[in-house]
């Protein structure tokens, strides 16, 4: 797969005009995103509080995320291509979604693809003005990553409740965003939730970090490739087997669709030594 030009300025082939244009489009996008978030805050609370949880999930999160990803497409030129749409669950069961994590883009995009679902998120997000308050209304699974044992219990207990209600649970097994070309060992928390709950799994691979980089605010025009795995039934799998299966599938597919496949560098756990 041919590499895309690096519009952040590190690629010598990028002209000053193209860099300036990408920066301008990114600034416009962030200004629009701030206004959108503020504007959506009021109806989210006024209307969302009266809706049942699933309907509230669609109203507060899914609709908002559709606007965000389409705004990024129209303003910044960040497009997407999805392979495996036929694997998206429609049988009413709650699935565990295990996804690659390279940027913020997938946290906006996956709700537009598979809903309703809740995410496993760090508790600090709860305290963000507007965004965190609206996030709390859709009942995500907040965890304290400084206490790994308690965090795992929260995921298993709250996750089982959401799954039994027919709500999917999204887990990023790497625990943090990992740049394109790098890898981080997967935590087994999401796989454990699936095996203990006997919930099926969908794995999601993508290369979002190549166009929505985690280490730079400038968005790179181009197409993000997203691949949805076939359903992984967990009845006859151990946690270790499921974790290995999903990690191998995601890593292999990411390498296939990326301009920057794995370069051999493994990323260590975060500074706290805790990851989920």
pLDDT per residue over 209-222, tens digit each?
999 999 899 999 99
| pLDDT tens profile 94-110 | 999 999 999 999 999 99
Residue 43 has φ and ψ, to the nearest 5°, of -65, -30
Q: In this predicted structure, what is the pLDDT of residue 251?
A: 98
Q: What is the pTM of this model?
A: 0.90
Q: In this predicted structure, what is the pLDDT of residue 231?
A: 97
Instruction: Compute the average pLDDT of residues 170-184.
Output: 95
CA distance 1 to 258: 7
Instruction: Compute the average pLDDT of residues 109-129.
Output: 89
For residue 155, pLDDT over 70 is answered with yes
Q: In this predicted structure, what is the pLDDT of residue 249?
A: 98
Mean pLDDT over the full length of the chain: 90
Residue 266 has φ and ψ, to the nearest 5°, of -95, 135
The pLDDT confidence band at residue 121, using thresholds 50, 70 and 90, is confident
Q: In this predicted structure, what is the pLDDT of residue 276?
A: 39
Q: Which residues are paired to 81 by β-bridges? A: 225
| pLDDT tens profile 186-207 | 999 999 999 999 999 999 999 9
Q: Give SS3 for 253.
A: helix
CA distance 102 to 16: 27
């Amino acid at each position: 797969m041919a590499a895309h030009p690096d519009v952040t300025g590190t690629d010598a082939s990028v002209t000053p005009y193209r860099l300036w244009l990408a920066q301008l489009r990114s600034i416009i996008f962030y200004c629009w995103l701030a206004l959108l978030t503020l504007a959506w805050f009021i109806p989210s609370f006024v209307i969302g509080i009266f809706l049942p949880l699933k309907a509230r999930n669609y109203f507060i999160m899914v609709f908002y995320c559709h606007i965000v990803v389409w705004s990024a497409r129209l303003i910044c030129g960040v497009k997407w291509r999805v392979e495996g749409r036929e694997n998206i669950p429609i049988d009413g069961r709650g699935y565990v979604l295990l996804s690659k994590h390279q940027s913020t883009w997938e946290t906006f995009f996956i709700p537009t693809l598979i809903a309703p679902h809740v995410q496993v998120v760090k508790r600090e997000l709860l305290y963000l003005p507007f965004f965190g308050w609206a996030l709390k209304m859709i009942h995500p699974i907040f965890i304290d990553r400084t206490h790994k044992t308690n965090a795992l219990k929260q995921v298993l207990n709250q996750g089982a409740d959401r799954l039994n209600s027919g709500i999917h649970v999204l887990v990023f097994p790497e625990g943090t965003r990992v740049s394109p070309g790098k890898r981080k060992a997967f935590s087994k928390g999401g796989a454990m939730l699936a095996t203990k709950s006997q919930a099926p799994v969908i794995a999601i691979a993508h290369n979002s970090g190549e166009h929505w980089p985690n280490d730079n605010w400038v968005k790179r025009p181009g197409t993000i490739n997203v691949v949805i795995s076939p359903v992984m039934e967990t009845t006859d799998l151990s946690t270790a087997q499921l974790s290995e299966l999903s990690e191998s599938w995601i890593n292999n597919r990411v390498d296939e669709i990326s301009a920057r496949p794995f370069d051999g560098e493994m990323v260590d756990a975060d500074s706290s030594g805790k990851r989920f």
